[in-house]
Amino acid sequence: MNLNYFSMRSLMLFSRAAGAIFSGAAMLLAAPVKPAVKAPVAKAATPLTDAEGWRVTRALGQALRSRVSSPGGQLRLFIRPTMRSREGFFSQIAIAGRPVRVRKLQISELNLSARNVQIDVPYLFASGKVRTLSSQTSLRAVVTEDDVTQLLAQGNGTRDMGLRVRFNSDGSMRVTGRLNYTLINGPVEGLARLRLASNYKVNLDIISLKLRGVEVPGFVRNQLMNRVNPVINYEDVPFRPHFSGLSVQGNRATLRA
């Protein structure tokens, strides 16, 4: 073999290799370039409310705690503000505890949830009290015979009568105490029943009342009911729940809204 053959052979191999290299490079250049994947940018959390809204929220919490307490227990209070809380708008307010005292009323168990609430802000700051303008309120409250007895003991027209109640198996209540009227006085025993009344109130209907074993006149029974009722008024409960159900089982009554 002569040198010209090897030179030609080497040149051909070099040409093929170079062609493959340039062809691969051209394919790489022609391939579409995928854009770099960007990490998602975290959005700033939307504040629940502004500074003035938090001021209203704090004042609302203080007003509720001054009105609702849990003697010997733990009161759970949850307030969810909105961007319009400075105007009195709140998304949800929840109150729960066992037992709970709302003014003179003691409730063995309370679960209250108010949604889409609007309160009177100027009234809140002027009086330290809550005035509800609108609310969708649900409630479950359990009241025992001892709770009702304690409520009657604190009533303006019944506190000196020593009234006590005990639930019967049929849902009625046995009532004992003492009448202190000018012409009619002495120990009494009667039969009564809790009832949902108009305007979202709970009344105590006295079915029978005997003084020393003798049934008293109807006007005396009516006069006593006027003193006692309403036993529970929805205006006394935060966010004005519209009572819709009342049931008695054992020694307790369950009120729902």
Summarised one tens digit per residue, pLDDT across range 136-167 is 999 999 999 999 999 888 877 788 889 999 99
Tens digit of each residue's pLDDT (9 = 90 or more) over 185-230: 899 999 999 999 999 999 999 999 999 999 999 998 998 899 889 9
Residue 154 three-state SS: helix
Please state the domain extents for the chain: 51-141, 146-256
Asked if residue 77 lies in contact with residue 100, where contact means CB atoms within 8 angstroms, the answer is: no
Of residues 134 and 24, the one with the higher pLDDT is: 134
Average pLDDT over residues 99-120: 94
pLDDT of residue 182: 73
pLDDT of residue 181: 78
Of residues 96 and 34, the one with the higher pLDDT is: 96
Q: Which two tokens stand for residue 109?
A: 């168990």
Residue 47 confidence class, pLDDT cut points 50, 70, 90 = low
The mean pLDDT of the chain is 84
Q: To which residue do tokens 């010997």 refer?
A: 72
Task: Report the predicted TM-score, pTM, of the whole model to 2 decimal places.
Answer: 0.76
Average pLDDT over residues 113-130: 98
Q: 206-223 burial, b if ≥16 CB within 10 A, otherwise e?
A: beebebeeeebeeebbeb
Query: Cis omega (within 30 of 0) on the bond before 230?
Result: yes
Q: Where are the beta strands (DSSP E) in 131-231?
A: 132-144, 164-167, 173-180, 185-197, 201-211, 214-215
Residue 89 three-state SS: strand
Q: Is the pLDDT reported for residue 26 higher than 60? A: no
Percent of the chain with pLDDT over 70: 82
Q: Is the pLDDT reported for residue 1 higher than 80? A: no
Among the residue ranges 23-32, 51-60, 155-164, 204-213, the one predicted with the least confidence is 23-32
Residues ≥6 apart with Cβ < 8 Å to 131: 119, 120, 123, 124
Average pLDDT over residues 102-127: 95
